[in-house]
């Protein structure tokens, strides 16, 4: 038993009086329904009449020309709407060792000595002064302070103010320098 389609499902995409002729061979009806030309050209359309759009839709195969592996990958990506995802545990740094250390401190009633960070170069100290931050700092603290300062000193906010524009340049330069330091081996060691 075939499902009957409601009137709303076949509402034309354009008005019949402005529509071109159906693109199907030897058809004299108006092409009021649009159909994508291919899966790679989803914004480029064929204009077809009702009979030919039904025929086109039945023959349409999005996966035509794809391998089985590509189809399976597409289906797995469809679960998340083809958006990137991250494993929650991958965002934690060494969670097992952190838990072990915290448990050891609790049971032994002692605290481990915090690792000492290497002294900063004068260039990094100046960058911290520009950002109005203290050492040590985290990526989140750096990013939050950067956003706060950019909102205050951005050229669009301070139209024509050369001092604020220079300050904005120094803030951006300092941010990139400090962000690079956080990613470097000096900070991680």
Q: Is residue 158 part of a domain?
A: yes
Determine the pLDDT at residue 67.
92
Q: Is residue 151 part of a domain?
A: yes
Model confidence over 47-106: pLDDT tens digits? Answer: 999 899 899 889 888 888 889 998 898 888 888 887 877 666 655 556 677 777 788 888
Choosing from 58, 78, 98, the residue where a domain stops is: 78
- If asked whether residues 15 and 72 sit together in one domain, one would say yes
Q: Is residue 172 part of a domain?
A: yes
Q: Is residue 32 part of a domain?
A: yes
53-59 contacts: CB < 8 A, separation 24 or more? none
Model confidence over 111-139: pLDDT tens digits? Answer: 655 666 667 788 888 988 888 888 877 88
Q: Is residue 102 part of a domain?
A: no
- If asked whether residues 72 and 126 sit together in one domain, one would say no
Q: Is residue 61 part of a domain?
A: yes
Write down the residue that tokens 């906010």 correspond to.
Answer: 157
Identify whether the C-beta of residue 179 lies closer than 8 Å to the C-beta of residue 139.
Answer: yes
Identify whether the C-beta of residue 124 lies closer than 8 Å to the C-beta of residue 177.
Answer: yes
User: Does residue 36 register a pLDDT over 60?
Assistant: yes
Nearest to 56 by CA among 77, 38, 41: 38
Q: Is residue 110 part of a domain?
A: no
- If asked whether residues 74 and 126 sit together in one domain, one would say no
- pTM score, two decimals? 0.39
CATH number for the domain that contains residue 144: 1.10.287.110
Q: Is residue 5 part of a domain?
A: no
Number of domains within the chain: 2
In the structure encoding, which two tokens stand for residue 141, read together?
Answer: 């603290």
* Full domain range(s) for residue 146: 122-188
């Amino acid at each position: 038993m075939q499902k009957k389609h409601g009137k709303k499902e076949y509402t034309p995409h354009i008005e019949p009086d402005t529509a071109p002729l159906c693109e199907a061979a030897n058809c004299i009806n108006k092409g009021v329904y649009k159909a994508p030309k291919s899966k790679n050209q989803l914004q480029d359309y064929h204009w077809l009449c009702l009979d030919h759009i039904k025929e086109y839709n039945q023959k349409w195969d999005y996966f035509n020309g794809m391998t089985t592996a590509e189809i399976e990958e597409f289906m797995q990506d469809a679960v998340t709407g083809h958006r990137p995802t991250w494993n929650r545990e991958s965002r934690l740094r060494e969670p097992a060792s952190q838990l072990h250390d915290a448990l050891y401190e609790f049971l032994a009633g002692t605290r481990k000595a915090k690792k000492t960070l290497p002294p900063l170069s004068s260039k990094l100290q100046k960058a911290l002064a520009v950002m109005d931050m203290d050492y040590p700092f985290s990526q989140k603290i750096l990013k939050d302070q950067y956003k706060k300062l950019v909102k205050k000193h951005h050229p669009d906010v301070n139209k024509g103010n050369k001092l604020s524009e220079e300050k904005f340049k120094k803030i951006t330069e300092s941010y990139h320098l400090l962000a690079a330091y956080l990613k470097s081996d000096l900070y991680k060691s």
